Structure formats: C-alpha cells, structure tokens
Amino acid sequence: MRWIDALEELAAGRLPEPVHRYFRQGSAGGISAAEAVDAWNAIRFRPQVLTDVSQIDLSTTVAGTPVDVPVLVAPTTLQRQADPDGEAAMAAGTGAAGSLVVVSSNAGTTFADIGATGTPWWLQIYVARNRSATIEMLDAAVAAGARAVVLTADTPVVGRKEDSGPTVWEVIQPGHLLANLEEDKYTNEDLAKADDLGPDVIGWLAERTGLPVLIKGVLRGDDALRCAEAGAAGVIVSNHGGRQLDGAIPTARALPEVAEALAGTTTEVYVDGGLRRGEHVLAALAMGARAVLVGRPALWALSVEGAPGVTRLLNDLGAELDHALRLCGRANPAALTPDLLG
C-alpha cells in the first residue's frame, strides 16, 4: 500500500474521533465528498511516444511566486488539533518541499509565526458581515508577508453536517481558532459570513492589500469569467471538499469548462478536491490547471508525522508526477495539453 493511501487510517488512530470526523466529513449526505477521488480515477490518457523526457522540470510559478512542484497545500482549519505547532508546522513542512501553503483565516497560529517559517503563503479569507473584522485580518496578513489573498466564495452559509455524537466544537481546545483576530471585539453576528457579495469585492480586496486576489469555489465557466473581468489573478476550481452544497459536481468535471472560459486571459486556474496521485495531478495540469492544492491529505500527514510528514506527502506526489510526465511524453507541466486526455 502507498504511504499516502494509509494516511487517513493512521491519522484516525491519533486524532480524537470528533476531530477526525470533522476533517473527513462532507456536508449533508456526503455525496460530493465521496465521489471526488473516483472522478479523477475515471480520467484516461493518450500518451505520446518518442519524445525526450530525459530531463524533467516540475517547477512553475503561482501568482508570481516560484515553487518547485505544482502541488500546493490547501487551507484547512483546526491544524493545532493535528499537531501542537499547527499552521507553523504545516508551513515548515510545505517549505521544505519547495511549495506554498494557503493559510486559513481561522488559523490557530499567528500570521507572524507562520511568516517566520520563511515559507511562501497565501491568506484564505471569508468576508465577514462586519467588514472591520475582515480588514483587521487582511492587515495582519499583509504585515506578516502573505503573497496573495484567496477569497472563499462558496460559503454564504456553512453547509450543514449530519453529526452523531459529540461534535468537534465540543472537544476543541481553547486557542485553536482565530489567533489573528481580537474576538472579544466582535459578536458572532459580526463574524458571520457575508451573504451579499458580488464581483466588486475582488477589487476591494486587491485595493486594501495590494496583493493578487484569487477566488476559491468556482465550478462554472461563466463565474470564472466574471471573476477574471473583475480583476481576479486566479480562480480555484473547488467544491470545498464536498463540505458545502452536497451534490455539487466533482472538480475533475468542472475544471475543463473553467479552463476553457479563461483561455486567452491572464487569470490563472487552480483546482483542489480529491487529488491523491501523481496521475491525478497530471490530469489536472493537462486540463489547464497551473497547479493543484491538497487539503485532507496534508492534514492526515501533519497528524501522523508532523512537518516532515507534510514534506514527504508533497515529495511523494512530486515523484509520482515526474514518473507520469515521463510516461506521457512531456518534460514539464507547461507542456501538458488537453490532447493527452482520452
């Protein structure tokens, strides 16, 4: 068995049951969460032969930041439940693999401590009903060296979870959330997610931070084009790990439409959701993604081996991608094109 395939079971033995359940579960009936990996497994390839693959180069840039491998770490919350050093350990492990981490706005580690690892990072943000809370977090992230802002746009309300037994919120330890916000200043209503957003929020975020803005949660080509026209530097094809609208299509199916809609623009395309193998990464890049993001696997790796586990995960996926590139007849991610897909 591949180490990656064993990670969730190993993590389950180390995490409190409500935490493990929270990390793995989808919303409602769990349909979207359950079918994500199978959607990537269903893709087939048309490899090209008699091409020079003696030298493989996995490096690329993401919103202007160089990375050694086109596999980034997606934003996830409650990382200090997985490892005492939480987001700082996740960042350190990511940096050791030459990649980039997206940090949740719910992080239980200060942005300053994350920035101190030296790993390039983006801030994932929700816009709160009280914009002052959002501004406070944005300013703290800019001061700590964030390279971009990722707006999660698919969460006007939080998708319902069908829990049985104690929930994670009943066992979470104090201080494991919102380390970058003076919570006492805001009510729960203040911190509720804004449900009145339009494309103009992209310009507001860019003006406030001076950073590239990417929109996460895009599953349609027309939405992707609206984001691009509003100034988005990138879109992330995502169904929130199946944690929002249950029955939302798999990202493997949504990606080609989004990439086609953005062809000819400068807006970069990324994808997350169910990517577990180098061949999955190969398929995503051939469809038009600049890089992919992994969420749950990084949490499992952090839970099992801490920062070195995150490094191992990214290195293993990079090695598998290297192998797959050679077998499909391409020497680097930029050379991947949709004609390689069957």
Q: What is the CATH number of domain 3-340?
A: 3.20.20.70
CB contact at 8 A, 154 and 244? yes
User: In sequence order, what are the residues at sequence separation of 6 or more whose Cβ sits closer than 8 angstroms to the Cβ of residue 74?
Assistant: 102, 272, 293, 294, 295, 298
Query: Which residue carries 């949504």 as its tokens?
Result: 254
SS3 288: coil
Query: Which residues touch 331 (CB under 8 Å, ≥6 apart)?
Result: 51, 52, 53, 55, 56, 57, 325
Please state, in angstroms and rounded to a whole number, the distance separating the CA atoms of residues 299 and 20: 10
CA distance 118 to 120: 6
Local confidence pLDDT in tens for the 342 residues of the chain: 899 999 999 999 999 999 999 999 999 999 999 999 999 999 999 999 999 999 999 999 999 999 999 999 999 999 999 999 999 999 999 999 999 999 999 999 999 999 999 999 999 999 999 999 999 999 999 999 999 999 999 999 999 999 888 889 888 877 778 999 987 899 999 999 999 999 999 999 999 999 999 999 999 999 999 999 999 999 999 999 999 999 999 999 999 999 999 999 999 999 999 999 999 999 999 999 999 999 999 999 999 999 999 999 999 999 999 999 999 999 999 999 999 999
Which of 299, 319, 334 lies closest to 94, judged by CA? 299
Radius of gyration of the chain (CA): 19
Active site residue 20: no
- Of 148, 274, 160, 159, nearest in space to 216 by CA: 148
Out of 20, 176, 240, 280, pick the active-site residue. 240
Residue 50 CB neighbours (<10 A): 5
Ordered by start, the domain boundaries in the chain are: 3-340
Q: What is the pTM of this model?
A: 0.97
